[in-house]
Every structure is written in structure tokens, then in C-alpha cells.
Amino acid sequence: MVVVSNESNNRTTSDIIVCGITNNLIPTRFSLQITQASLAKGILKANSKIKVDAITAIEKDLVIKKFGRLNKTTIEKVKNYIRVLFEI
């Protein structure tokens, strides 16, 4: 999963807002393919896609491991997909 809620929200609530991530690379309208080059740090074990239309809130305690951080370009792409998805 990819955390899409902001740091302020993440610090002050027990939940975080996330998008799903999968290694099923079949493209969909609101999926963004990512590779190792999409990360600012960390290791992506396999090329994957962020399912921007699969947004949910989960308890922070359910997060077991952090695998990396998206680079700025990829973060902007995710934000743009969210804007289109919600027409904002």
C-alpha cells in the first residue's frame, strides 16, 4: 500500500489513508505503474502498480513494514490521478 494522507494527519490520528499496490501490471484507468526508479529510497522487489482508485483508511498499527519512499515525480503523478478520480 502507498500512504497518501499527509504527515499532519498521520501524526494526529490513529488511521492513515492508503492506496492499494499490486504486482499485477495489467493497466487500468486509475493505476500508475512504478519501478525501482519511482522510489527516492528503499527497494521495490517487483515492478508494481499503484491502484489509485483503491483508497481506504487503515489503522496505523496494521502497518508492518515500510519498503521505501516514492520520489517527487511519482508523488505528483499519484496526486494528479487522485485529482482526476475525484474531479478536484
**pLDDT digits over 15-64, tens only?**
999 999 999 999 999 999 999 999 999 999 999 999 999 999 999 999 99
Residue-level pLDDT at 41:
97
- 73: confidence class by pLDDT, cuts 50, 70, 90: very high
Residue-level pLDDT at 51:
98
Half-sphere exposure of 65 (CA within 13 A, CB side): 4
* Dihedral angle over CA of 19, 31, 22, 53, nearest 10: 40
Residue-level pLDDT at 81:
97
pTM of the model: 0.90
Residue-level pLDDT at 24:
96
Hey, what domains does the chain have and what are their CATH numbers?
2-86 (2.30.30.110)
Q: Are 41 and 74 in contact (CB under 8 A)?
A: no
